[in-house]
Amino acid sequence: MITNVPINWSELIGQPQAIELLQQAIQHDRIAPAYLFVGASGIGRSIAALCFCNALLSFGLSKEKSSLTQQRKAASNHPDLLWVQPTYQHQGQLLTAKEAETAGLKRKAPPQIRIEQVREITYFLSRPPLESSRLVIIIEDAQTMTEAAANALLKTLEEPGKATLILLTPSTDAVLQTLVSRCQRIPFYRLSSDNMKQILTSKKYEEILNYPELLALAAGSPGEAIASYHYLQSIPIELREQLTHLPTSPIKVLELAKKLSQELENETQLWLVDYLQQCYWNQSQNQTILETLEKARQCLLSYVQPRLVWECTLLNLCQGF
């Protein structure tokens, strides 16, 4: 998430504890070798990582050099910063989710942090910092590390040298516990409704405030609310209306299942399961419907043929209403 837009601590809304812990570490020069930023996606972990990264790379530098550091980081060419994201393998190359989308690749399995990337981290750490007092490595979605990658990173964390690693993850349970034990944990919390409104308005997404089901689904995460809004907008209105009022004819149901499997990306289908759970629960508060959709999610994650998943799911849902 390196961005050319200047980022500062004032943009980290609703996370006073995280700000205090990280700023105190800088002020007292008690910077840990590794940090674990723990909390749901979309609540400020990446913004905090950028702010902390700015402070680490500028630590001990003159005002002029600090300004140059910020410019180089914003341009994604700072020699002492390595930002690692989950990747897909494609024709011998590792592509981030954004790169895969740009290339128009069909993505079935979720991206992962791979052992090749951890080897890149090890190589990066094998040299001293060039412009700053330390090297900085930020690892997004650390919970996606393969077992081999996690074990390789564990060895790196034992002697990181003049470096600080920042791992972002939704939960400590999702990461190898021996990794967790070597990191200082920084907790991030879901935001209040007032903070949600403040952030969505400032980012020009106030329209989301008119979608209570999206706000409920986001559960205090403005980032997830925005992502859900984009997912919803990517689904044709006709499909949305048919899902809101399921057809009674089995043939129509099968036609709808075909459209869902053909017109929606795998990620959108998985999001749709969450969205339908929220919507249908508001309509009927029927536990069986939630369980039916949960089975659909597990089948989609297990790479069962999507059309078959939706056919069975929608036919069962029609019986549940």
pLDDT per residue rounded down to tens, the chain (321 residues): 545 445 789 899 999 999 999 999 999 999 999 999 999 999 999 999 999 999 999 887 767 666 777 667 665 678 999 999 999 888 888 888 888 878 777 766 788 999 999 999 999 999 999 888 899 999 999 999 988 999 999 988 888 888 999 999 999 998 999 999 999 999 999 999 999 999 999 999 999 999 999 999 999 999 999 999 999 999 999 999 999 888 889 999 999 999 999 999 888 999 999 999 999 998 888 899 999 999 999 999 998 999 999 999 999 998 766
Cβ(83)–Cβ(2) under 8 Å? yes
Q: What is the predicted pLDDT for the residue at 256? A: 96
Residues 125 and 56 in one domain: yes
Residues 37 and 18 in one domain: yes
Tell me 172's DSSP state. Answer: G
Residues 213 and 161 in one domain: no
Residues 162 and 202 in one domain: no
Residues 203 and 158 in one domain: no
Instruction: Say how far apart CA 134 and CA 61 lie, in whole Å.
Output: 12
In a domain, 52, yes or no: yes
Question: Nearest Cα to 152, choosing from 177, 173, 125, 121?
Answer: 121
Q: Token pair for residue 178?
A: 């021996």
Please count the structural domains in the chain. Answer: 2
91 Cβ neighbours under 8 A, 6+ residues apart: none
Angle made by CA atoms 299, 272, 320, in degrees to the nearest 5 = 75
Q: What is the predicted pLDDT for the residue at 321? A: 63
Instruction: Say how far apart CA 257 and CA 275 lie, in whole Å.
Output: 16
Could you tell me the residue range of the domain that residue 284 belongs to? 193-320
Cβ(186)–Cβ(24) under 8 Å? no
Residues 173 and 197 in one domain: no
In a domain, 2, yes or no: no
Cβ(305)–Cβ(319) under 8 Å? no
In a domain, 4, yes or no: no
Q: Token pair for residue 84?
A: 């690692």
Residues 39 and 61 in one domain: yes
The residue among 153, 187, 221 that closes a domain is: 187
- 191 dihedral zone (left: phi>0; alpha: psi -120 to 50; beta): beta
The backbone torsions φ and ψ at residue 46, rounded to the nearest 5 degrees and listed phi first, read -70, -35
In a domain, 271, yes or no: yes
Instruction: Say how far apart CA 131 and CA 148 lie, in whole Å.
Output: 32
The backbone torsions φ and ψ at residue 303, rounded to the nearest 5 degrees and listed phi first, read 65, 30
Residues 215 and 303 in one domain: yes
Q: What is the predicted pLDDT for the residue at 74? A: 63
Residues 200 and 179 in one domain: no
* pTM score of the predicted model: 0.87
Residues 174 and 275 in one domain: no
Residues 259 and 158 in one domain: no
Residues 208 and 290 in one domain: yes
